[in-house]
Amino acid sequence: MNSSLNSDSFDLDDLEALGLTPFDPTQHLSSKEAVAAYMSEIVATGNADLFRAAMSDVVRAYGMGKVAAQADITREGAYKALRAGSKPRFETILSLLDALGMQFAIVPKPQHESGAI
């Protein structure tokens, strides 16, 4: 038996050894409803790095060059804004969302999650 299966952690190479492939969300983001559900769940985490990574997934699913052109930014600029560790401008995120036919919305949290007044 593979000793990595008994440990608390594994790497992606272990998946391939088991005949599995890493999950690629871009294969499942084929409708606006799927994109909206995916991004809504990510935004709800409050994790900016996860949001940036999810935006990258969505933009890649629809074609980086195509979305970037529609957002009126260069393909390289889109890659740079969405790469790991980047801090994209809010305007860039809004432009990319608009190019995808999406909009940013603010909604109340469910009562049990709200720490607000």
What CATH number corresponds to the domain at position 65? 1.10.260
Q: Tell me what pLDDT residue 111 has.
A: 76
Domain count of the fold of the chain: 1
pLDDT at 3 over 60: no
- Max CA distance (Å), the chain: 54
pLDDT at 104 over 70: yes
pLDDT at 5 over 60: no
Task: Classify residue 18: in a domain, yes or no.
Answer: no
Q: Tell me what pLDDT residue 1 has.
A: 46
DSSP for 71-115, written as a single string: TTS-HHHHHHHHSTT----HHHHHHHHHHTT------PPPGGG--
Highest mean pLDDT among 24-33, 37-46, 92-101, 107-116: 92-101
Task: Classify residue 12: in a domain, yes or no.
Answer: no
3-state helix, strand, coil in the chain (%, to 5): 60, 0, 40
Q: Tell me what pLDDT residue 26 has.
A: 75
Helices (H) and strands (E) in the chain, counts: 6, 0
* Pairwise CA distance, residues 16 & 111, whole Å: 43
Write the pLDDT tens digit of every residue in 22-69.
Answer: 777 777 788 889 889 889 989 999 999 999 999 999 999 999 999 999
Task: Classify residue 67: in a domain, yes or no.
Answer: yes
**Mean pLDDT of the residues in the chain:** 84
Task: Classify residue 40: in a domain, yes or no.
Answer: no
pTM metric for this prediction: 0.72
Task: Classify residue 108: in a domain, yes or no.
Answer: no
CA distance between the termini of the chain: 54
CA-CA-CA-CA dihedral for 97, 102, 106, 109, to nearest 10: -110
> Where in the sequence is the domain holding 90, given as residue range(s)?
47-103
Task: Classify residue 111: in a domain, yes or no.
Answer: no
Task: Classify residue 84: in a domain, yes or no.
Answer: yes
Task: Classify residue 16: in a domain, yes or no.
Answer: no
